[in-house]
Amino acid sequence: MFGVVRRRVARGGGSSAPILKAVRPGVSASRVSSAPAAEILLGARGVGYVRNYSHVIFPGCSIGSRPIREVVTSIQPATNLQIWSRTFSSENGDFVEAVVPFMGESITDGTLATFLKNPGDTVAADEPIAQIETDKVTIDVTSPEAGVIKEFVAKEGETVEPGTKIAVISKSGEGVAHVAPSEKIPEKAASKPSPAEKTSDEKPKAKVESAPVVEKPKSPSTPPPKRSATEPQLPPKDRERRVPMTRLRKRVATRLKDSQNTFALLTTFNEVDMTNLMKLRSDYKDAFVEKHGVKLGLMSGFVKAAVSGLQNQPIINAVIDGDDIIYRDYIDISIAVGTPKGLVVPVIRNAEKMNFAEIEKEINTLAKKANDGSISIDEMAGGSFTISNGGVYGSLISTPIINPPQSAILGMHSIVSRPMVVGGNVVPRPMMYIALTYDHRLIDGREAVFFLRRIKDVVEDPRRLLLDI
């Protein structure tokens, strides 16, 4: 019966060091050879236990009744050990990667819309080099360090996620091929045949042309089929352009169609005499700008009127959630803003706590961010009621669509001078049609009409807000 001797390597037993040791230094040969070698624990990576003393563990080397020293001596020269190492793009960390940033809690991916730079361009730290188009906003991919763009890894039109590598940037600019306009000339020149090639190509053609051409009898051509009188005359395809929809446009289309499919949409109308609100703005516009640094517009008056209406009819500020109705004790007014890239709806938070000046400042800030594309996801999330002003584009009357998951939307329209009966006399008045589209599953016509009537009363006589009547 042979005894079992286990020796663990004192150094690197569980590490990745490729040094193979079976006997620690300083152990006498007689002590080691006193027991036959039946099982050896090897410390190199990828080598396990040898459980059979007669098993061949390496080519040309077997364990018998020899001492362990002889076994180890015979193993070392016959074994080729490989050391695995990780490759890096640069030993001194010259290359850095520009990746897609975090885009918001509700956004998991986006489309790489366009590159703002080219390979070989110099960029500064935090300078935008590409734009990611999401369902709601456009997000910039910035350079993490100052340097030169080495290459772009992703392509325009690809769907990317947060953390996806977009470009490789060299901080020192070494090893970056700069694309010059002169480099493209040889390619064009190479594509054109040389004069010698033209001469050789023209000679065989001359021989072919000199041969007599035998004309074949022409077959009677069939006349083109005549179109029926009812067949539509379609324009040629070369007069059409096909452009893919942006993610923002597809998102807006999906949400509005879901709104029509889900809500029981109904719209009620009224008209507002804008005389008093316009006179208020005209009388105090200079003093308002001097004190608050912002112009007094009509939107702040309608926001204050909407707040008053929502406080009088809380059901319009509520929403359906399954079999429950959620009543909100706050009023966040969403303002629809049309931008060159599509419709966005930033939110004025806690509008019930704001005065005219604070509302005007917030509207100007959000509208500016929406137009230059710097608005964030958080500034558009939520909202309990929406106001859409189509009057700035000249709309006379419309039926707006609810912005899900809200339950109603107020539509403003253009101001037109119309003849109205005031005190028994027909006089011209600046009039505006207003529309309220609401979810009839939750809101009855009575509440909708009362709400719209409250809007009319407050806009026509803003003093009601001071007296709370």
Active-site positions read 440, 444
Listed residue (84, 136, 86, 143) closest to 115, CA to CA: 143
Listed residue (423, 113, 404, 367) closest to 259, CA to CA: 404
Residue 194: DSSP 8-state: P
Contact between 39 and 50 under an 8 Å Cβ cutoff? The reply is yes
Q: How many CB atoms lie within 10 A of CB 457?
A: 16
Residue carrying the six token digits 């918001």:
104
* Residue 287 backbone dihedrals phi, psi, to 5 degrees: -65, -35
Secondary structure class of 352 (helix, strand, coil): helix
In the chain, the largest separation of any two C-alpha atoms, in whole Å, equals 128
Distance (Å, whole) CA 458 – CA 460? 6
Contact between 460 and 273 under an 8 Å Cβ cutoff? The reply is yes
Helix axes 299-312, 356-372, angle to 10 degrees: 110
Distance (Å, whole) CA 273 – CA 279? 11
Distance (Å, whole) CA 447 – CA 443? 7
Q: How far apart are the first and last CA of the chain?
A: 106
Residue carrying the six token digits 């597809």:
250
Contact between 156 and 130 under an 8 Å Cβ cutoff? The reply is no
Distance (Å, whole) CA 451 – CA 458? 11
Strand 385-389 and strand 408-412: pairing?
Answer: parallel
Q: What is the chain's Cα-based Rg? A: 40
Helix boundaries (H) for 76-179 = none
Secondary structure class of 422 (helix, strand, coil): strand
* Residue 434 backbone dihedrals phi, psi, to 5 degrees: -120, 145
Give the full edge-to-edge strand order of the sheet including 110-115.
Answer: 138-142, 128-133, 110-115, 159-160
Beta strands in 48-146 (DSSP E): 49-50, 56-58, 61-62, 95-99, 110-115, 122-123, 128-133, 138-142
